[in-house]
Structure 1
Amino acid sequence: MEQDVGSLVAECIERSGLNARQVAARAGVAASTVHRILNNQVSPSVATLHNITAACGLDLTMSTSTLASPAAAAAARAILDEHYPTEVDAEIEEWAGRLDTWADGDAVQIIEEAARASGVLHRADAIRLSGEATIGRLASAGDASGQRWAVSGAAGLDLPSFDEAVPRISVLWCEDPSEIRPLLTGGTLRPASAPHRSTVVIAAAEPNLFLGTFERDRVVYAAPIQIAIDAISVGGDAAARAREEIRTW
C-alpha cells in the first residue's frame, strides 16, 4: 500500500530515537515545517526530505513504477460522466486538474490520459487470470460473492451473450477481489504468467465506479465511460476498438 509522506517522515523520526524538534534542528529545517509535513499539510521538496532522513540516520531512495491510480479514472468520470458526483475528494480533484491540463479539455483525450494513468492491469491488489471462461461464469461468481460487481474492458465493448467466451482483456470490478478469486480460479482459469497475458483482471472498485451500470443478459456492466477507460488501459485489440468507439460519441 502507498505510504503518505507524513507517515514516512514519522516512521523515520521514530526509528531515529530523536524527537521531531531535534530532527528539524539537525536537518536545518524549521520545526513548524516538520510539523506540517507530519500532518500532510505541505508537500516537501526532495532536498528537504533528504535532509530530514539524513538527520534520522537514514538514506532516501527513490524508485518508479507503472502508474496505476484509481483516482485518475474517477477524475475522468467526474469530468465527463453525468452519473458521477461533482463533489469529489482531494485526490480525485487533483487528478481532474491534471487531466484537464494534459488533454486541454478534449473529452477523447481525457479518456486516453485517464486510461494510461489508471493502469488496472498493474494494480497491486489486482488478480490476473488467463485461460477460457464464459461471461456467465464471471456473472455467477459476482452474484455468489454477495457483493456489488460490474464487468468492463473488452467484454463491455462486445456485450457477449451469457454462454459466450470472455474476450481478452476483460475487467471484473468488485468490492473485494479476494472473495471472488476462489470462485473463478481452477479449471480453465489460472493465474496469468504476465499482466498482458490475462484474460480477466479482478480489481477492487472505488464506490462510485458502480454508478451508471447497466444489465444485459444477466450480466452487469460498468458505465460506458468506465468501459472505454478500462479497454484502453489494458491495451491490444480492446484499446483499438474503444478508441474507434469514443470518437463517435
Structure 2
Amino acid sequence: MEQAVGRLVAECIERSGLSARQVAARAGVSASTVHRIVNGVVSPSVDTLDNITTACGVGLAMSASPLAAPAAAAGARAILDPLYPAEVDPDVERWAGRLDAWADGDPVQIIEEAARASGLLDRPDAVLLAGEATIGRLASVGDASGGRWALSGAAGLDLPSFDEAVPRISVLWCEDPSAVQASLAGGTLRPASAAHRSTVVVAAAEPDLFLGAFERDQVVYAAPIQIAIDAISVGGDAADRAREEIRTW
C-alpha cells in the first residue's frame, strides 16, 4: 500500500514541474514527510495526500471496489503453512497480521478471511472459461506455456485422474495467463458469461504461490491451504466442500 501511494505521489510531483521541496511547502507539510511518502516509508492520511496532490495540480478521487489482494492468501499461508518462508514481503506480513487479528487465531476463519480478501474472481487479469475439458488438457496447456503452473480450487480438492473432466470451479494458476488463455479458448472451452457458469479460472500467479506445490499423475497442484483458499474464493459447491475439508485438519 505504502509503495503504491509513494509511486502516485512521485508521479504527481514529476508532472507538476515542481521540486519535492516546493510541493511540500505548498501542501503545508515537511520536505522529509514527502520524502518518506515517496519512498514508501509511511502511509499518509487522506487529508495529507489530498493536500500534496492538490499542490501538484492534481485532483484526488477515491473509489471503493471488492478486495482482490494476492497478499491476503500469502498472508494466510505465512501463518498456517510450515513450508512458507519465515521472511516474507512487508505486504504479506501486514496481511498476516490482519488475518490473525480478524480471525482471533482460528485457522478455519483465517482461510475464510483470506479467501474473501484475495478476491480471485475480481482480479483484472482473471479469465473465466466455461465448457468441458480434461485435467490432462489443462496440464498440457500449462506445460506448453513454458512457465510454472498449478491447478487449484475444485481440481485440487478432487485430484481427478489425467483423463477425467475438470470439476467446477477449478483454478489454473500460471506465470503467463495470455499464453494459456490463447491455448484454451475455443473448442470445448469458451469465455464464461458469469462467474457461476465458469469451469476454469485462469489467473496470474505470484512467485510464492508455487511454494509447496505437489505433483500427482503428471499434474501439478497448489499447496493444500492455497487450494482451500481458492475453492472458497470462487464459491459454489467447491467452497462448501473446502469448508468441510479444512474443519478436519
Q: TM-score with structure 1 length normalisation?
A: 0.95
The C-alpha deviation readout for 1:149-193, integer Å capped at 9, x for no partner, is 111001111112222211111101112112212221111111222
Letter in 1 for 2:85: P
**Superposition RMSD in Å:** 1.5
1:207 aligned partner: 207
2:42 aligned partner: 42
1:234 aligned partner: 234
Asked if the contact 1:122–1:195 (Cα under 8 Å) also holds between the matched residues in 2, the reply is: no
Q: How does 1:108-187 map to 2 (within 5 A)?
A: 108-187=108-187
The C-alpha deviation readout for 1:112-148, integer Å capped at 9, x for no partner, is 1111111111212222211111111101111222222
Structure 1 Cα separation of the partners of residues 92 and 207 of structure 2: 13
Structure 2 Cα separation of the partners of residues 58 and 146 of structure 1: 43
Kindly state the Cα deviation for residue 196 of structure 1 after the two structures are TM-superposed: 3.4
Structure 2 Cα separation of the partners of residues 14 and 210 of structure 1: 38
Letter in 2 for 1:37: I
Structure 2 Cα separation of the partners of residues 215 and 24 of structure 1: 54
* Identical-residue share of aligned pairs (%): 81
Structure 1 Cα separation of the partners of residues 168 and 71 of structure 2: 24
Indicate the larger mover: 138-147 or 105-114: 138-147
1:28 aligned partner: 28
The C-alpha deviation readout for 1:46-67, integer Å capped at 9, x for no partner, is 0001111111222111011111
Structure 2 Cα separation of the partners of residues 148 and 12 of structure 1: 37
Q: TM-score with structure 2 length normalisation?
A: 0.95
Structure 2 Cα separation of the partners of residues 211 and 35 of structure 1: 36
How many residues are paired up?
248
Letter in 2 for 1:62: M
1:195 aligned partner: 195
Kindly state the Cα deviation for residue 76 of structure 1 after the two structures are TM-superposed: 0.8
Structure 1 Cα separation of the partners of residues 215 and 41 of structure 2: 43
Unaligned runs of 5+ in 2: none
Letter in 2 for 1:70: P
1:88 aligned partner: 88
**Secondary structure of the equivalent of 1:129?**
strand
Kindly state the Cα deviation for residue 108 of structure 1 after the two structures are TM-superposed: 0.7
